[in-house]
Amino acid sequence: MFSRIARPTLCIANRSLTTTSQNNAKVAVLGASGGIGQPLSLLLKNSPLVGELSLFDIAHTPGVAADLSHIETRAHVTGYMGPDQLNAALKGCDVVVIPAGVPRKPGMTRDDLFNTNATIVATLADAVARNCPEAMICIIANPVNSTIPITSEVMKKYGVYNPNRVFGVTTLDIVRANAFVAELKGLDPARVNVPVIGGHAGKTIIPLISQATPKVEFPADQLSALTARIQDAGTEVVKAKAGAGSATLSMAYAGARFTFSVLDAMNGKEGVVECAYVRSEETECKYFSTPLLLGKHGIEKNLGLGKLSAFEENLVADAIGELKGSIKKGEDFVANMK
């Protein structure tokens, strides 16, 4: 059991969090002391793809860094704490992962987090634009449907926006879809792949069960219930934790999976595909999640929506209005920043 944890890689078909290639990438985790940040940092420390791990938060980071630095893997860990050390944390980073922000509590939607998390993400994006503008930026902080437009608009203000390098991490939706489909069909979840498109909140989460591999079919009522469970899975965890937080461990796994895919592609691995919420021309929304072919410089090709079932077409139509509103809310936030 431990051997699988000790030397992980990621490919879509065989999804242990491992990779055989070596690299010396410098990866920053902004929000490294939080419920997602700590397990995410642990998974990144465990990867041979990471040469330097730069951990930033407003509190407790030196302790987290000291703890992780005792692990017998090659990544060198440094902790940075407080606004005065943010610039230093970002110098020379190749990838920046941002789980920072407040978590949901029972009764809250992801959008309820907007005011607090929008300010946090805008501040961090500003620092990225000034210190490592060419880094791959992976945003976990919710509401992702708005925080990606926020990040993009801040980068534009500095003239350093590259849409191929700014990602909203929706991977947890794919991870959940894979797990739930595998559970219902008695399959090995490591061999299931369900694309999930749209956004990362409620009805904007659109699992494409018709495009799943291996091919699976469900009666209409079961398909509807499965889709609803995937869309509401975050709330399922928030309720189960009863005020003690939101999805942190599964999100850390999903964030690590996406980061490893980005690093693998930067390292020259071919055929790396992940879904993510990005600047897009695939629908009438400026930002939309679809499967992406990743390369050395970020998005190599947007693979689009593919062939949708009638049920999935209706889900897309139902999501557009909410997505447009969330995108505008993020853009307006940056336009009105002092």
- Binding site annotation covers 243? no
- Binding site annotation covers 5? no
Alpha helices in 74-113, H assignment, sequence order = 86-90
- Binding site annotation covers 141? yes
> Cβ(81)–Cβ(65) under 8 Å?
no
Helix (H, G, I), strand (E, B) or coil at 96: strand
How many Cβ atoms from other residues are within 10 Å of residue 181's Cβ?
22
* Bond preceding residue 214 cis, omega within 30 of 0: yes
- Binding site annotation covers 108? no
**What is the token pair recorded at 59?**
């509190």
200 assigned to active site: yes
- Binding site annotation covers 250? no
- Binding site annotation covers 36? yes
Catalytic residue among 60, 70, 76, 200: 200
Rounded-to-integer distance, Cα 76 and Cα 59, Å: 20
- Binding site annotation covers 117? yes
Helix (H, G, I), strand (E, B) or coil at 235: helix
- Binding site annotation covers 186? no
- Binding site annotation covers 98? no
> Cβ(178)–Cβ(147) under 8 Å?
no
- Binding site annotation covers 34? yes
- Listed in order, strand segments (DSSP E) in 115-232 are 136-139, 166-168, 196-198, 205-207
The binding site for NAD(+) comprises 31-37, 57, 117, 140-142, 251
- Catalytic positions, please? 200
The binding site comprises 31-37, 57, 104, 110, 117, 140-142, 176, 251
The binding site for substrate comprises 104, 110, 142, 176
